[in-house]
């Protein structure tokens, strides 16, 4: 199994420009040969490029230093040094690039093959042929090449999902995503079974699709680092809609209404913008008799808030079609 890494720190350095050349024509029967030193080549840029076929920043966990080549020095006979090639650093689509020292966001690559130059190569120095004038026909100097840029960068991957499934551990997020998509996450009956966000593609309404992600590790205090939540809250930021899964199981001491309040407090504490996202409330595990009794209380609570709920059972599939239809309808509404 490929390890999921969604943050990395790397060092980049672009290439130095080549030196300009000091040279003079030395030809037979040309007693006063003029300057013919060529320019140095430009140093190579360091460019970040988004790749659709990458799903993690794992490569940059092991390789953290990237240096582009230097430009070639200029030569006599007006020959210019070769420019160094651009060094391409691949990252997954959805990666945000930040300057480590200032925290400034340099770019956000959300499309395949999108690029960002993060370190510009140094310009090559001019050869002495460039400095010849009517009063100085034999200049004996040339420019050194410019130094390249160097930076330390932070790469942060934010999943590009239309819909995020949130809920406390064991609410049934992994089971739900396995039922409505082709994703096959690890599922077990203990907290933090899911250690990475899982992505799945859901089909609806005759060929239309949306991408859904289950967000693991959210518990009370997640925004302060409790549980695993702080690692994965960033993945909700790009989603358009949240499915808020409530655990109605009688085999837990959890209070679904209190869970709902706490979860929203965590989202707001992490980023007030998250609270602006539409939420679809889905009380889960209604296949259990005691859960159905609790469901009436849940419906009454959300009815007072003017919120319609979509009861589901990921185990039996009950209610999933209506839930998917509602998600599709909400997504279509956001496009208008």
251 pLDDT exceeds 90?
no
pLDDT at 227: 44
Lowest model confidence (mean pLDDT) among 191-205, 220-234, 274-288: 220-234
Question: Sorting pLDDT into bands at 50, 70 and 90, what band is 230?
Answer: low
CA-based radius of gyration for the chain: 29
CATH number for the domain spanning 110: value is 2.70.210.12
Residue 195 has pLDDT above 60, yes or no: no
- If asked whether residues 100 and 202 sit together in one domain, one would say no
The region that residue 130 occupies, defined by phi over 0 for left and psi between -120 and 50 for alpha, beta otherwise, is: alpha
The count of C-alpha atoms lying within 13 angstroms of the C-alpha of 141, restricted to the half-sphere facing its C-beta, is 4
Check residue 5 and give its pLDDT. Answer: 76
29 and 127 co-located in one domain: yes
The mean pLDDT value for 210-218 works out to 79
Residue 231 lies in a domain: yes
* Domain identity same for 318 and 190: yes
| pLDDT score for 194 | 46
The whole-number pLDDT of residue 223 equals 45
Domain boundary, last residue among 135, 157, 179:
157
> Would you state the pLDDT for residue 263?
87
Q: Is residue 59 part of a domain?
A: yes
Least confident of 47-61, 171-185, 322-336: 171-185
Closest by alpha carbon to 107, among 54, 154, 161?
Answer: 154
In this model, does residue 183 exceed pLDDT 80?
no
Domain extent at residue 89? 7-157
Which pLDDT score, from 0 to 100, does residue 300 have? 93
Give burial (CB, 10 Å; 0-12/13-18/19+) of 275: middle
- Residue 32 domain flag: yes
pLDDT surpassing 70 at residue 303: yes
- SS3 call for 182: coil
pLDDT in tens, 126-143: 999 999 988 888 899 999
Rounded distance between C-alpha atoms, residue 87 and residue 89, angstroms? 7
The answer to whether residues 81 and 215 belong to one domain is no
Would 2 be classed as within a structural domain?
A: no
DSSP secondary structure of 21-65? P--B---TT-TT--B-PPPPPPPPPEEEEEETT---SHHHHH--E
Domain ends where: 123, 157, 191?
157
Q: At what angle do helices 256-270 and 289-304 cross, to 10 degrees?
A: 50
How many angstroms separate the CA atoms of 69 and 38, rounded?
19
| Most confident by average pLDDT, 10-14, 89-93, 220-224, 232-236 | 10-14
Residue 192 pLDDT greater than 70, yes or no: no
Tell me, yes or no, whether 134 and 203 share the same domain: no
Does the pLDDT value for residue 28 go beyond 90? no
How many CB atoms are closer than 10 A to CB 334?
A: 10
Residue 217 belongs to some domain of the structure: yes
Q: Work out how many domains the chain is built from and give that number.
A: 2
Mark which of 157, 189, 211 sits at the end of a domain.
157
**321 by DSSP, 3-state: which?**
helix
Co-location of 298 and 182 in the same domain: yes
- 130 and 13, same domain (yes or no): yes
The pLDDT mean for the chain works out to 86
pTM exceeding 0.85: no
User: Which CATH number characterizes residue 307's domain?
Assistant: 3.40.50.300
Indicate if 87 and 129 belong to the same structural domain.
Answer: yes
* Average of per-residue pLDDT across 106-122: 96
Is the pLDDT score of 188 beyond 50? no
310 within a domain of the structure (yes/no): yes
């Amino acid at each position: 199994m490929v390890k999921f890494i969604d943050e990395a720190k790397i060092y980049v350095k672009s290439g130095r420009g080549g030196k300009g050349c000091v040279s003079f024509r030395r030809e037979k029967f040309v007693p006063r040969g003029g300057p013919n030193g060529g320019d140095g080549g430009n140093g190579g840029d360091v460019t970040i490029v988004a790749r659709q076929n990458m799903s993690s920043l794992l490569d940059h966990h092991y390789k953290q230093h990237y240096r582009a080549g230097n430009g070639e020095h200029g030569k006599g006979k007006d020959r210019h040094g070769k420019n160094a090639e651009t060094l391409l650093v691949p990252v997954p689509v959805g990666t945000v690039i930040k300057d480590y020292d200032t925290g400034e966001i340099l770019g956000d690559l959300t499309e395949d093959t999108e690029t960002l130059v993060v370190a510009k190569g140094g310009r090559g120095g001019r050869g002495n042929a460039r400095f010849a004038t009517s009063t100085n026909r034999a200049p004996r100097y040339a420019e050194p090449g410019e130094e390249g840029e160097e930076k330390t960068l932070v790469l942060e991957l934010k999943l590009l999902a239309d819909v995020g499934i949130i809920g406390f551990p064991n609410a049934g997020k992994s089971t739900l995503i396995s039922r409505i998509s082709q994703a096959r996450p690890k599922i077990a009956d203990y907290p933090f079974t899911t250690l990475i966000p899982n992505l799945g593609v859901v089909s609806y309404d005759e060929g239309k699709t949306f991408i859904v992600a289950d967000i693991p590790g959210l518990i009370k205090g997640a925004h302060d680092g409790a549980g695993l939540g702080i690692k994965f809250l960033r993945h909700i930021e790009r989603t358009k809609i949240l499915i808020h899964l409530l655990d109605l199981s009688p085999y837990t001491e959890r209070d679904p209404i209190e869970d709902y309040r706490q979860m929203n407090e965590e989202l707001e504490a992490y980023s007030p913008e998250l609270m602006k996202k539409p939420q679809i409330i889905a009380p889960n595990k209604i296949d259990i008799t005691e859960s159905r009794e609790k469901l009436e209380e849940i419906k009454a609570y959300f009815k007072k808030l003017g919120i319609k709920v979509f009861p589901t059972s990921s185990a039996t599939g009950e209610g999933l079609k209506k839930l998917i239809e509602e998600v599709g309808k909400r997504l279509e509404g956001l496009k208008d």
